[in-house]
Structure 1
Amino acid sequence: MDARRMLSTLTDALGRTTRRTLGGAQAGAQALAGRSEEAAPGPLIDVSRVDADEALFLVRTMIAAASADGVVDASERARLHTAMREAGIDSDDRSFLDEEIAWPRDIEEIADAVSTPEQAARTYAAARLVIEPDTMQERAFLRLLAERMDLKPDEVAAIEARAGGTPPGRPLTA
């Protein structure tokens, strides 16, 4: 399995806000690093800067986010499979995806694997790409993920602003 290709495929296919979200991830990473310059929008994740292990981790994070409300519904599964098929990902990789969907990672496992502020920003951005926080469970997933990775509210807000913003009246960082 080529995890970097799978990550690239998923971010592209699910990227209704791909360019804006990477800018948020970069801005969050820059805020963590104490820099304030504006991030130029680009693809969600610069796959050339992500090794195979992190790519696999981010794919697993995306799957966990998709199942945040307790189930990867038929439309979410169809979007993932369509993306894989259109990219020419083989049936073995689609089988891997199905296995991961059946046993998604939990927030603790994801957060414990994050070792840098930049990785935390990429991880949150990858999770946010997959879900629109329109259910209580999805908002809780994002809030808890941010808390466990020690992302500050302003860092989350920077990513959220690039991802289309926090739904009105439903703060993700509260």
Structure 2
Amino acid sequence: MNAQKILSQIMKQAGGGKGSSSGIGGFDAKSLLGGGALGMLVGSKRGRSMGGKAIKYGALAGLGALAWKAWQAHQEQKSAPAEATTATDQPLEQLSGERQESRSLVILRAMIAAARADGHIDAQERAALAEQIDALGADDELHAWVEQQMSAPLDANAIARDADSPQAAREVYLASVAIVDDQNPMERAWLDQLAAALKLDGDLCRTLERQAGESSA
């Protein structure tokens, strides 16, 4: 599947800034994150507004690097020695091939779950999401996969099982933070479930959330 391509587009366009209309490969952040794709999950079809869920654009741009930066800050706060990394325990941007594709899939899965966490999504929003994903160049396999994710029960443990390293877990959580409104009790509860499933401690979660907030300022 070309999940990495889709996630890369989202991240690059997010880097254009809030509401940016500068195109990347023919697409733009406002279309993708505001009026289309994920925006259809966080926007307004029944009186809900974009203010209801705060897409933190900056937290999606350079996602892996931001999650790594948050981890380093967390280690410094604990005065803990640096930990050795493995081939999979690297920021998303440093991965390639199959590892990058697998990481992209779990991050996209987490983002879709986060967007669904408040329980509000209708058939029209689902159809619009599918249309926007297709417009980004999704192949039939990825399109079918997105449809499956839209219908699957929310399962934080299943997402956590696919996070292949501590860095992957941090990226999954940060991507989810970038989608939800943590003032919404249902969405806050989802973040807490996800953190527990990913085995992220509370201090690290707060550091990741702070990183997302600073990146979108």
TM score, norm. by length of structure 2: 0.58
Provide the residue aligned with 2:178 in structure 1: 129
Larger Rg: 2
1:38 — aligned with what?
Answer: none
Does the CA-based 8 Å contact 2:4-2:100 persist in structure 1? yes
AA in 2 matched with 1:16: Y
How far is the alpha carbon of 1:83 from its aligned partner?
4.6
Query: 2: distance between equivalents of 1:85 and 1:103?
Result: 20
Report the Cα distance in structure 1 between the residues aligned to 2:122 and 2:71, rounded to whole angstroms. Answer: 32
- Between the aligned partners of 2:182 and 2:123, the Cα distance in structure 1 is 18
Q: Does 1:114 align with 2:163?
A: yes
Specify the code of the residue in structure 1 equivalent to 2:93.
D
Distance in 2 (alpha carbons) for counterparts of 1:66 and 1:130: 6
**CA 1:25 to 1:92, structure 2 compared with 1: closer, same or farther past 3 Å?**
same
Counterparts in 2 of 1:73-88, with a 5 A limit? 77=126, 80-81=129-130, 83-88=132-137
| Alignment-derived partner of residue 24 in structure 2 | none
Aligned to 1:25: 67
Q: Which residue of 1 aligns with 2:93?
A: 46
Higher RCO structure, 1 or 2 (CA under 8 Å, sep 6+) = 1
Provide, for residues 56-82 of structure 1, a one-character-per-residue CA deviation record: whole Å limited to 9, x for no partner: 122111111111122435796477446
Please give the alpha-carbon distance, in whole angstroms, between the structure 1 residues aligned to 2:123 and 2:180.
Answer: 14
Count of matched residue positions in the alignment of Structure 1 and Structure 2: 157
Deviation at 1:106, TM superposition (A): 0.4
Distance 1:9 1:80 in 2: 15
Deviation, structure 1 residue 29: 3.3
Q: Percent identity?
A: 29
Stretches of structure 2 that go unaligned for 5 or more consecutive residues are: 14-31, 34-55, 83-90
Which residue type is aligned with residue 160 of structure 1?
E
Letter in 2 for 1:58: I
Deviates more, 1:148-157 or 1:71-80: 71-80
Match of 1:100 among 135, 149, 156: 149
Q: Which stretch shows the higher mean deviation, 105-114 or 16-25?
A: 16-25
Cα displacement string for residues 15-69 of structure 1 (whole angstroms, at most 9, x for unaligned residues) = 622238555411233346844xxxxxxxx95274552222212211111111112
Relative to structure 1, is the Cα distance of residues 104 and 138 closer, same or farther in structure 2, using a 3 angstrom cutoff?
A: same
- Asked if 2 retains the 8 angstrom alpha-carbon contact of 1:20 and 1:163, the reply is no
Deviations 1:117-172 (A, max 9, x none): 2111011012122222231111011112112222122211221112127xxxxxxx
With the length of structure 1 as denominator, give the TM-score of the two structures: 0.69
**Post-superposition, which runs of at least 4 consecutive aligned residues in structure 1 deviate over 6 A?**
none
